[in-house]
Structure 1
Amino acid sequence: MSVIKEFREFAIKGNVIDLAVGVIIGGAFGKIVDSVVADLIMPVVGLVFGKLDFSNLYLALGQVPAGTADTLEALKKAGVPVFAYGHFITVAVNFLILAFIIFMMVKQINRLKRETPAEAAPAPAPTAEDILLLREIRDSLKK
């Protein structure tokens, strides 16, 4: 029974919940970055490099059966091993964009943390000597 209790305490800690929310948001954000790369960036890069479609760049590593279309999808369906480096290029660009966005977010968060004023340290509690001196001043004023 203690293992279940320990797991429950672990699972409801704030850090675990925050991590779960971060993973969910990260997955959704990853889809946005995939779309930006596939739909906006790679077509422009392909245009610059002569209308090159990176997603269809590959090398067939095996014997291509007769009558098989010369596309990556057709070769994969036919069971031909392919070295799909175009897909890797697309994924690498996705990663670089995502890493850059995260870098900029962390940089901004760190800048905002530095701008917040530091809280003033609480005044130290008076020592016994301070109290004696204050009493002495008070007594001298009474005279």
Structure 2
Amino acid sequence: MLEEFKAFINRGNVLDLAVAVIIGAAFGAIVTSLTEDLLMPVIAAVTGSPDFSNLFVRLGPVPAGYAGAADDYAALKAAGVPMLGYGAFLTKLLNFLIIAFAVFLLVKQANRLMPRKEEAPPAEPADVVLLREIRDLLKEQRS
């Protein structure tokens, strides 16, 4: 079993996958920074909210012992107040769209740079080949 595991780990695709996961995590951190540090402040300035992630709708009462601010999403969430955190959701949605668009551009460029394989013509069914041979033989007999 140990030998099988070594063979599995030594395959190239496992190492490629590990590299992809590490690069993907780093890429995710870059996109998160782009979203939170560059795009969201601009969007927040346009919408008038200084902190876009603090946009929420409270669905229930604040616990009696809560001493934090009434507009602090993270503190209210930690206190167990039911809320719809649409600002945090929109931030994560924007992160996803940026990542998806970046991956799309990356794949599009990679497809452009990679050589295309010549596609073999599709194989004809055996009955079509046989009928063609019969036709050719009949033509030869007539001439």
User: Would you say same fold, with TM above 0.5?
Assistant: yes
Partner residue in 1 for 2:92: 91
Partner residue in 2 for 1:61: 59
Partner residue in 2 for 1:35: 33
Displacement of 1:52: 5.2
Structure 2 unaligned residues grouped into runs of 5+: 119-143
Q: Structure 2 length as normaliser, TM-score?
A: 0.72
List structure 1 segments (4+ residues) > 6 angstroms apart after TM superposition.
Answer: none
Aligned length: 115
Distance 1:35 1:69 in 2: 26
- Whether the 8 Å CA contact 1:68–1:78 is kept in 2: the answer is no
Distance 1:32 1:107 in 2: 20
Structure with the greater alpha carbon radius of gyration: 1
Q: Structure 1 length as normaliser, TM-score?
A: 0.72
Amino acid at match of 1:42: M
Amino acid at match of 1:17: L
- Whether the 8 Å CA contact 1:59–1:84 is kept in 2: the answer is yes
Amino acid at match of 2:93: A
Amino acid at match of 1:4: L
- Whether the 8 Å CA contact 1:56–1:84 is kept in 2: the answer is yes
Distance 2:8 2:112 in 1: 32
Question: After superposition, where does 1:1-143 map in structure 2 within 5 Å?
Answer: 3-51=1-49, 53-66=51-64, 67-70=67-70, 71-114=72-115
Partner residue in 2 for 1:124: none
Amino acid at match of 1:101: A
Identical aligned residues as a percent: 54
Q: CA RMSD in A?
A: 2.0
Structure 1 unaligned residues grouped into runs of 5+: 119-143
